[in-house]
Amino acid sequence: MRKHIILISAVAGLVAAQRNPSQPLSPAQAMANELFRKAVGTPEQMNTAFPPYKVIGNVYYVGPESLGSYLITTPEGHILINSDFERTVPIIRESVEKLGFKFTDIKILLGSHAHGDHMQGDAMVKEMTGAKVMVMEEDVVELMKMTPGGKPHPLDRILHDGDQVKLGGMTLTAHLTPGHSKGCTTWTFPVQDGGKTYQVLILGSVGVNPGFVLVNNKDYPQIESDYRHSFEVLRATHYDVFLASHPAFYNMTEKYAKLGKGGPNPFIDPDGVKAHVAEEEKVLNAVVAEQKAAAAH
């Protein structure tokens, strides 16, 4: 039986460039801003519940409109990927319960990368469920700075490239795909649906946010090469379904509208991530070229 891969990319933290508003954006800045705004949406979209739904197999969408969170259900409890902002945790809880599952049955909490719009709510979810919080080693330092309301960021297990997380017959593998953050994590695991096995891939992110320094970055000297490594990993990966932690990147609203209308699963989109990677790589190339030119002068 042919295996497929679901790709869930996690794109964009909330880091904006500081600039003179009277000064026009350069072409590279404009490209980065366009994808950033498309990814994160408006404040209203980040705080507005989206109808929870089954994506495929035992994978469910439980996030708000522009911040993707996913529930993976098992007979022994559930796995939540991305707690989002602390203020959106109640939205996620309500979505989980609307689907007929207990929020307190979440046993493991994973994340895509150490940005607040994906993992700020970890402490609250830990308090509410007792879930074990597992984090890629390279993101630990930044996550420990994430203390909403003075609550320390929970950490139950440090992960490394290739580590596996197991629960209720599910095995998720953590892959280090850095660039967007030093510990950006891509998750892979199999899902059964309609008699077929689909390999799920959850990408941390390949987005280049406004304000990211890609040339002469003293805090992250290898950032450009890390991004390019992640692009190559994705280009070498076979998949069928493209999802994203910012669902605008896979046109969730349009695809969701097609669910239950008798056709094939609209989330099976084998070309979606290729187009997304090409788009993000174009931005990276433009930003790198612009920053190198500025450094030369």
Q: What are the sequence ranges of the domains in the chain? A: 4-296
pLDDT surpassing 80 at residue 4: no
Please give the Cα distance from 80 to 97 (Å, whole number). Answer: 13
Rounded to whole angstroms, what are the CA distances from 239 to 3, 40, 59, 80?
9, 24, 16, 21
Q: Which fold has domain 4-296?
A: Metallo-beta-lactamase; Chain A (3.60.15)
Give the torsion through C-alpha atoms of 126, 129, 135, 139, to 10 deg. Answer: -30
Contact 72, 79 (CB under 8 A): yes
pLDDT, tens digit, 9 for 90 and up, residues 86-95: 999 999 999 9
What pTM did the predictor assign?
0.92
pLDDT surpassing 70 at residue 45: yes
Neighbours of 111 (CB within 10 A): 30
**DSSP-derived secondary structure for 188-205:** EEEEEETTEEEEEEEE--
pLDDT, tens digit, 9 for 90 and up, residues 173-213: 898 989 999 999 888 888 999 999 998 887 778 999 999 99
Residue 1: predicted pLDDT: 44
Please give the Cα distance from 162 to 138 (Å, whole number). Answer: 14
Question: Residue 258: CB partners within 8 Å, gap ≥ 6?
Answer: 266
Q: What is the 3-state secondary structure (H, E, C) of 12-49?
A: CCCCCCCCCCCCCCCHHHHHHHHHHHHHHCCHHHHHCE
Calculate mean pLDDT across residues 48-71.
96
Share of the chain above pLDDT 90, in %: 70
Which residue is associated with the tokens 């003075």?
150
Contact 271, 92 (CB under 8 A): no
Contact 69, 92 (CB under 8 A): yes
Rounded to whole angstroms, what are the CA distances from 9 to 39, 105, 127, 243?
11, 25, 27, 6
Question: Residue 80: CB partners within 8 Å, gap ≥ 6?
Answer: 62, 69, 70, 71, 72, 92, 96, 106, 108, 109, 110, 125, 131
pLDDT, tens digit, 9 for 90 and up, residues 228-264: 999 998 888 888 888 887 888 888 999 999 998 889 9
Residue 23: predicted pLDDT: 62
